[in-house]
Chain A
Amino acid sequence: NAGVMQNPRHLVRRRGQEARLRCSPMKGHSHVYWYRQLPEEGLKFMVYLQKENIIDESGMPKERFSAEFPKEGPSILRIQQVVRGDSAAYFCASSPPRSSYNSPLHFGNGTRLTVT
């Protein structure tokens, strides 16, 4: 049973380009969370999605960032017109449906985005 798969592992973009980060949850999981880890900082919640629904996007920057989790395929975190401050590690985690307050967490290995 494969874990949470994120790709690419490393992504380099020039300022102004778009970055697309993909996350395939564990088999049977329908809840996906995205977190960002800025250099030398702790992890911060960005967005929580279920299939075809954004449940909580309170941690997403208001502009340039969007996330989706379609009925088929991976969850996508999209950053338009990237700036140097977007350089960070982006982690995805998943949990099963009907998640309780005490569902364990399963993280991917992260995508390290570098904006040049």
Chain B
Amino acid sequence: KNEVEQSPQNLTAQEGEFITINCSYSVGISALHWLQQHPGGGIVSLFMLSSGKKKHGRLIATINIQEKHSSLHITASHPRDSAVYICAVREGAQKLVFGQGTRLTINP
């Protein structure tokens, strides 16, 4: 079993829909990151969380430390949100462990 599990692996939705991507982890962590990767492109850090909730534009990230679970939400989704979203947990000082990613496709 992977230390970081994301669901779903693939998600297709229509423009405007509310999107939720989930991340569960099995290890103790100091922080959790949500990353975005466009096809053939680089990786952008969206959020870093150690507790509670953060919001940036149409993106919202939450984390429940007791349940070892985090969610990434996208409101009013748009085709340009199509990308792979990756959850990564920081174990200890520096090492990151990554989920397999969720491939999101938003159709117009």
Contact = CB atoms under 8 A, between A and B. Distances in A.
A109 B41 contact: yes
Interface residues of B, number: 25
Given A42-B99, A43-B88, A44-B98, A104 B41 contact: no
Secondary structure of the A side of the interface? strand
A104 B35 CA distance: 11
Contact of B43 (A44, A101, A104, A107): A107
Interface of B: 30-31, 33, 35, 40-45, 48, 50, 86, 88, 90, 92-101
A99 B48 CA distance: 14
B100 A42 contact: yes
Contact of B94 (A44, A99, A109): A99
The 8 closest A-B pairs by CB, nearest first: A109-B42, A101-B30, A107-B43, A43-B98, A42-B100, A105-B45, A42-B98, A102-B31
A42 B44 contact: no
A56 B43 contact: no
How extensive is the interface on chain A, given as a class?
Answer: 20 to 34
Contacts of A31: 94
Contacts of B98: 35, 42-44
Contact of B48 (A35, A102, A107, A112): A102
Contact of A45 (B33, B43, B97): B97
A25 interface: no
Nearest to B93: A101
Contacts of B40: 112
Interface string A86-103: 000001010000010110
Given A33-B94, A102-B30, 17 more contacts: A35-B98, A42-B86, A42-B98, A43-B43, A45-B97, A55-B94, A56-B95, A91-B43, A99-B94, A101-B31, A101-B90, A102-B48, A104-B45, A105-B33, A105-B35, A105-B48, A112-B40
